[in-house]
Structure 1
């Protein structure tokens, strides 16, 4: 994964941390836009994904005009 600025190639923000990035990868999420298909609550169930990571992911989604599933 090439890092450019604050966003990785996948669209995931760098600040979410390595544990959250690994958890997303292990769950099969490879691009930010894929997170618009799930609820925040489901994301928080992944080991390594905490409130800080979810908040940063929410902001990254909003920048793309997306949001977590309601």
Structure 2
């Protein structure tokens, strides 16, 4: 049985419907999405996770191992191809696994 969607309004006046307790306004999320750069290639949860951890540049991303990134709540394997492509475009890659903290 599906949960019933409830009508909500965010603090900026956008009206949206949600079936969960999640307070996130889809319109606000779309408006804050970057237009370019590696963060623009990611889903909102993945982008928000990286930003929450201070990973806002491709150089900062390259200081982590792939495993460290996957361990962050909100990151999944589906984001890895975009991250690998973004790193490669700048001549970078994830940190070597031998430096992995896990």
TM-score over 0.5 for the pair:
yes
Structure 1 counterpart of 2:77, from 51, 65, 70:
51
- Structure 2 residue 99 is the aligned partner of structure 1 residue 67: no
- In the TM superposition, residue 47 of structure 1 has moved relative to its aligned partner by 1.1
Q: TM-score, normalised by structure 1?
A: 0.80
Larger Rg: 2
Residue 41 of structure 1 aligns with which residue?
Answer: 67
Number of matched pairs: 64
The structure where helix makes up a greater share of residues is: 1
Q: CA RMSD in A?
A: 1.4
- 2:34, 2:40 within 8 Å by CA — same for their partners in 1? no
* Residue equivalent to 1:20: 46
Q: Show structure 2 runs of 5+ residues with no match.
A: 1-32, 97-102
Higher relative contact order by CA 8 Å / sep ≥ 6: 1 or 2?
A: 1
CA distance in 2, matches of 1:52, 1:20: 10
